[in-house]
Amino acid sequence: MNVPLSRLFDYLPPRDDVAPAVGCRVLVPFGRRHQVGLVLEHSAESSLPPGKIRRCDAAIDEAALISATDLRLIRFTSDYYHHPIGEVVAAALPALLRQGKALHPTVETIAVSDLGQSRDAAALARRAPKQAELLEFLVDAGGNGVDADRLTEELPNWRRVARALFEKGYIARSELRTEDFDETLASARADSLVLNEDQQKAVAILRASDHFGAYLLDGVTGSGKTEIYLQRMRDVIEQGKQVLVLAPEIGLTPQLVARLRDRLGIEPALFHSGLTDTERLTAWRAARGGTAHLLVGTRSAVFTPLKNPGLIVVDEEHDHSFKQQEGLRYSARDLAIVRAKHLDVPVILGSATPTLEMLQHCREGKYKHIRLPVRAGSAEPPIMRLVDTIRAPAADGISEPLREAIHAHLGSAGQALIFLNRRGFAPTLICASCGHIAGCDRCDSRLTVHAHSNQLRCHHCGACRSLDTRCGECGEVVKPLGEGTQRLEEALRAQFPEHSIMRVDSDSTKRKGAMHEVLEQATEGDADILVGTQMLSKGHHFPKLSLVGIVNADQGLFGTDFRSAERMAQSIVQVAGRAGRESRRGEVLIQTAFPEHPFWSTLITGGYSRVAAEALAEREVTRWPPFTRLALLRSAAHRHGDALGFLEIAKRSVADRADESLRILGPVDAPMARRAGRYRAQLLLQSSDRQALQNLLRELRPALEQEPMARKVRWSIDVDPIELF
C-alpha cells in the first residue's frame, strides 16, 4: 500500500478463498478507507490474532501484474534506500494502476446507429432540442463514435439526454479495449558511417557477452558513443529482445529520441513527465507485454517491466537528474546496474565526464572501462583558452576578448553559445548607499532580479514580489548586481544588434514544446548567439556551433563540497563539447578571475580524465566517496530547536549501534539553514564499510519512526547523497 510505513500488512484472501498470486493488486480495507495494495508474499501465519486479520475486498488482477524479478528490484530499492516499500511500489506503477484501474482499460464509445442516421432531424429538433444537439454532435464525429470522456467535456449533461436516444435505438454504446502500442515504422535509415578503430573495438567488447556486465563507455564529447549504443541495440532488438535506455531529461534530448527512431526503424516507447496517464499506461503495458522493443525514459523508467530484457543503457551517466532528490531518494543509474544484474543482461554507462564512482569501479576491475579518446569522423577537439577578467574586465558579463571572438566567429558564418549557469537578470539587488541586500523572508537566500516581469524571486522557495526601486532599510536607490542570463541576453542584443539571439533557460522554455522549438532553431543555425544555462549543455548537437563562451566559471573553484572540482570539470567539459562538432574546429573561452588556479592547468592540459584522476587521488587520502559510503539524515521543522533536537536523538541512537568503521558528522545546520520558512539540519554518516552502514540504517529507520520527536519534524534518510545540503 502507498503508505509511509516500513512494514507489510497481513490480510486474508477475498471471500472466494483463493489467494491472489504474488505480484497481483488487491483492494483492501485500510483504517476506514479502502486502498489498492500489492501482494508481496503468502504466509501461513501472522503476528496478528486470527480474529483481527481483515479480508481483502477483491483481487484486481487475475495474474501477477509485477513479475518476481521486478519485485526483487522493488524490494532491493526499499531495503537499500530505507524507504517504505509501499511507496516504492507506487513509484514503480503508472498512476492509473496505482489507482486500481485495469491493466487493459476499456473505453466507452457512443456512436450513432443506422436508425439514428435516418431520423427526421427537424422534427427531433422541435420536440427535443437537447437530444437533437447530442445526436448532431455524434453524427458530425463520424462512424467510429466518440469516447464518453470527450462527450462529458463537450456536453457535460449528455448522459441524461442520451437515455431517450438509447431507448429509441438512435445511438449505441460499445466498450472497446484501449488501443495498443504500435512500434512499426516505415523503415530504418541505412548506416552510412564506417566505425573508426576505437569504435569497432568498443563494439567488439560489448558484443562479446549477452550476460551481466557493467561497461563504462568513457568517450570525449563527439567521440561517437551514441553510434556504439546504436550498433549494440540493433543486435539485441534483432534477437527479439528489449532495450531500456535511461536518459537525463527527455524534454532536453529530443535529438537522441529522433536519432534512435531513425536509425533503428522502430518507434520507441517513451516514459517522461510530459505523458498523460493513459499514454504512460499504454507504454508500460507495451514494455510488459514485449510489444515495444525500445524503451526510452527518464529516471523512473528504471522500474519499467520488461518481458524479454536484453540490454540497459544509461546515457550521460554523470547527470544529476538520475538521482531523485525528494521522497524516495534513489539513483536510477545505480538501480539500473542492480537491475541488469538481476536480469543477467549487460548495462552500458556512457559519459564524456564519468563520475568518480564509476571510474573507481573500473579501477577495481568490477566494471569494464572502454575509452574513446578522440572525436569520431574528422572533428577535432575544441581549443580552450582562459580570459583573465581582472586584466580584461567584463562589462555586463562579456569581456573584450570574448566580444571579439564572438565577432570573429559570427563574421565567418559560425554560431556562438554563451554559458552562464544563473537564470534571471541579476542574482542580487543591492543598495548603493548602505549595502543592504534584498533577501527572502522565508529562506536564508538572496532574491534574484527578474527585470522583464519587474519582480524579485526566490529560486529556493518560489516566493516572488515586485521589484523595489528604493532600499527597504535606508530609502536610497538600489541596483542589480552581477549577471544572470537575462542581463547577458540584453547586453548581447546591445552589442550585436544585427544578429539573432536566443536565450535558453527554465524561464524561457516553460511553455510546452518551447524547448523543442528552441533546439530546432539552434540546430538549423537560425540563432547566431545562444545564451543560456546548463540546459544548453546536455548532449546537443548544433552543427554550426563554433564558439563557446563561459561567462562566470569561478563559482565552483572554491566550493566547499567534496565534489566541487568534479562537478565543475563536468559542467565545463560538457558545454565546451558543444563546440566544433562538425567540420570546423571549436574554440572555448573561459572567463575567470583566477587564471592561476591549478584547476585550470589540469583541465586544459590533461582534460577531464586528469581532473578526475587527481580528484580520485585526493578523495582516497581524505576518505570521501567512492572510498567511503555516505548517508545523510535531514530534518526540517518550524522551530530551529526541533530540527536539531531530532538529529541529536538520531545521533545517540546511531552511536549506540555504531562500530569503528563509522564517522558521525554533525548534527549541524544545513548550508541554507532556513528554506521556505523551515529550519533545516543534517547529520552525516560516513563509513568505509557499506554493509555496516546498511545494517545500522536498517535498525535506525524503524527506531526513528517510533520516536515521538519524529512527529514534530520532517525527516528523511538519503543513501549515497549527491547534494550535501
Q: List interacting residues with Zn ion (CB under 5 A).
A: 440, 442-443, 458, 460-461, 463
Q: Is 423:533 a contact under the CB 8 Å cutoff?
A: yes
Q: Is 487 exposed, middle or buried (0-12, 13-18, 19+ CB in 10 A)?
A: buried
List the one residue from 131, 223, 537, 574 that touches ligand ADP (CB under 6 A): 223
Which lies closer to Zn ion via its Cβ, residue 313 or residue 438? 438
At closest approach, how far in Å is the CB of 456 from Zn ion? 10
At closest approach, how far in Å is the CB of 64 from Zn ion? 46
- CA proximity to 61, closest of 105, 95, 31: 105
Which lies closer to ligand ADP via its Cβ, residue 82 or residue 541? 541
Report which residue type is found at 383: I
Q: Beta partners for 548?
A: 417, 588
At closest approach, how far in Å is the CB of 230 from ligand ADP? 8
Letters for 562-601 (x = contact with ligand ADP by CB under 6 A, - = none) are -------------------x--------------------
Assigned C-alpha cell, 296: 526510452
- Cβ partners under 8 Å of residue 51, min gap 6: none
Tally DSSP H helices, then E strands, for the chain.
21, 28
Give CA–CA dist 308/321, Å, rounded: 27
At closest approach, how far in Å is the CB of 200 from ligand ADP? 9
- CA proximity to 416, closest of 522, 567, 488, 317: 522
Assigned C-alpha cell, 467: 521589484
Picked from Zn ion, ligand ADP, none, the partner binding residue 193 (CB below 5 to 8 A depending on kind) is ligand ADP
Instruction: Tell me if residue 521 falls in helix, strand or coil.
Output: helix
Picked from ligand ADP, Zn ion, none, the partner binding residue 390 (CB below 5 to 8 A depending on kind) is none
Which lies closer to ligand ADP via its Cβ, residue 226 or residue 399? 226
Picked from Zn ion, ligand ADP, none, the partner binding residue 302 (CB below 5 to 8 A depending on kind) is none
- Cβ partners under 8 Å of residue 621, min gap 6: none
At closest approach, how far in Å is the CB of 314 from ligand ADP? 13
Which lies closer to Zn ion via its Cβ, residue 12 or residue 673? 673
List the one residue from 78, 199, 537, 546 that touches ligand ADP (CB under 6 A): 199
Report which residue type is found at 638: H
678-687 β-sheet, strand order: 662-675, 678-687, 629-637, 714-719
Of the candidate spans 110-118, 217-225, 468-476, 681-689, the one that interacts with ligand ADP by CB under 6 A turns out to be 217-225
Residue 198 in contact with ligand ADP, rule: CB under 6 A: no
Picked from ligand ADP, Zn ion, none, the partner binding residue 443 (CB below 5 to 8 A depending on kind) is Zn ion
- CA proximity to 443, closest of 633, 634, 636, 632: 636
Chain positions 349 to 378 lying near ligand ADP, rule: CB under 6 A, are 376-377
Instruction: Tell me if residue 185 falls in helix, strand or coil.
Output: coil
Which lies closer to ligand ADP via its Cβ, residue 415 or residue 552? 415
Instruction: Tell me if residue 532 falls in helix, strand or coil.
Output: strand
List the one residue from 77, 78, 131, 221 that touches ligand ADP (CB under 6 A): 221
At closest approach, how far in Å is the CB of 553 from Zn ion? 26
Which lies closer to ligand ADP via its Cβ, residue 196 or residue 521? 196
At closest approach, how far in Å is the CB of 220 from ligand ADP? 7
Picked from Zn ion, ligand ADP, none, the partner binding residue 642 (CB below 5 to 8 A depending on kind) is none
Which lies closer to Zn ion via its Cβ, residue 443 or residue 612? 443
Q: Beta partners for 588?
A: 384, 548
User: Could you identify the residue written with the cell 545517540?
Assistant: 652
Picked from ligand ADP, Zn ion, none, the partner binding residue 223 (CB below 5 to 8 A depending on kind) is ligand ADP
Assigned C-alpha cell, 667: 548534527
Q: Ramachandran region of residue 518, left (φ > 0), alpha (ψ -120 to 50) or beta?
A: alpha
Closest residue to bound Zn ion by CB: 458
Which lies closer to ligand ADP via its Cβ, residue 541 or residue 619? 541
Which lies closer to ligand ADP via its Cβ, residue 273 or residue 583? 583
Question: Is the torsion defined by CA of 216, 219, 222, 224 positive or negative?
Answer: negative
Three-point CA angle 504, 506, 507, nearest 5°: 90
Picked from Zn ion, ligand ADP, none, the partner binding residue 227 (CB below 5 to 8 A depending on kind) is ligand ADP
At closest approach, how far in Å is the CB of 642 from Zn ion? 20
Picked from ligand ADP, Zn ion, none, the partner binding residue 346 (CB below 5 to 8 A depending on kind) is none
Picked from Zn ion, ligand ADP, none, the partner binding residue 440 (CB below 5 to 8 A depending on kind) is Zn ion
Distance of CA 117 to CAs 122, 144, 154, 158, 702, Å?
Answer: 13, 13, 21, 18, 66
Which lies closer to ligand ADP via its Cβ, residue 198 or residue 642? 198
Assigned C-alpha cell, 623: 576518505
Instruction: Tell me if residue 291 falls in helix, strand or coil.
Output: coil
List the one residue from 116, 219, 309, 645 that touches ligand ADP (CB under 6 A): 219
Which lies closer to Zn ion via its Cβ, residue 241 or residue 678? 678
Which lies closer to ligand ADP via its Cβ, residue 327 or residue 373? 373
- CA proximity to 354, closest of 180, 223, 550, 452: 223
Assigned C-alpha cell, 452: 522583464
- The alpha-carbon radius of gyration of the chain (Å, integer) is 29
User: Could you identify the residue written with the cell 543482461?
Assistant: 345
Of the candidate spans 219-227, 390-398, 462-470, 640-648, the one that interacts with ligand ADP by CB under 6 A turns out to be 219-227
Chain positions 164 to 193 lying near ligand ADP, rule: CB under 6 A, are 193
At closest approach, how far in Å is the CB of 427 from Zn ion? 14
- CA proximity to 496, closest of 445, 560, 547, 566: 547
Which lies closer to Zn ion via its Cβ, residue 384 or residue 438? 438
Picked from ligand ADP, Zn ion, none, the partner binding residue 222 (CB below 5 to 8 A depending on kind) is ligand ADP
- CA proximity to 246, closest of 344, 355, 319, 181: 319
Picked from Zn ion, ligand ADP, none, the partner binding residue 458 (CB below 5 to 8 A depending on kind) is Zn ion
Q: Is 215:298 a contact under the CB 8 Å cutoff?
A: no
Distance of CA 204 to CAs 191, 201, 227, 232, 263, Å?
Answer: 18, 5, 13, 9, 20
Instruction: Tell me if residue 234 falls in helix, strand or coil.
Output: helix
At closest approach, how far in Å is the CB of 415 from ligand ADP? 16
φ, ψ of residue 679 to 5 degrees: the values are -85, 140
At closest approach, how far in Å is the CB of 319 from ligand ADP? 14
Picked from Zn ion, ligand ADP, none, the partner binding residue 661 (CB below 5 to 8 A depending on kind) is none
List the one residue from 131, 226, 242, 421 that touches ligand ADP (CB under 6 A): 226
CA 71 distance to own-chain centroid: 23
> Which helix (H) or strand (E) covers residue 256, if one does?
helix 254-264
φ, ψ of residue 680 to 5 degrees: the values are -125, 140
List the one residue from 61, 227, 319, 720 that touches ligand ADP (CB under 6 A): 227
Which lies closer to Zn ion via its Cβ, residue 83 or residue 457? 457
Residues that bind ligand ADP in the complex, under the rule CB under 6 A: 193-196, 199, 219, 221-227, 376-377, 541, 581
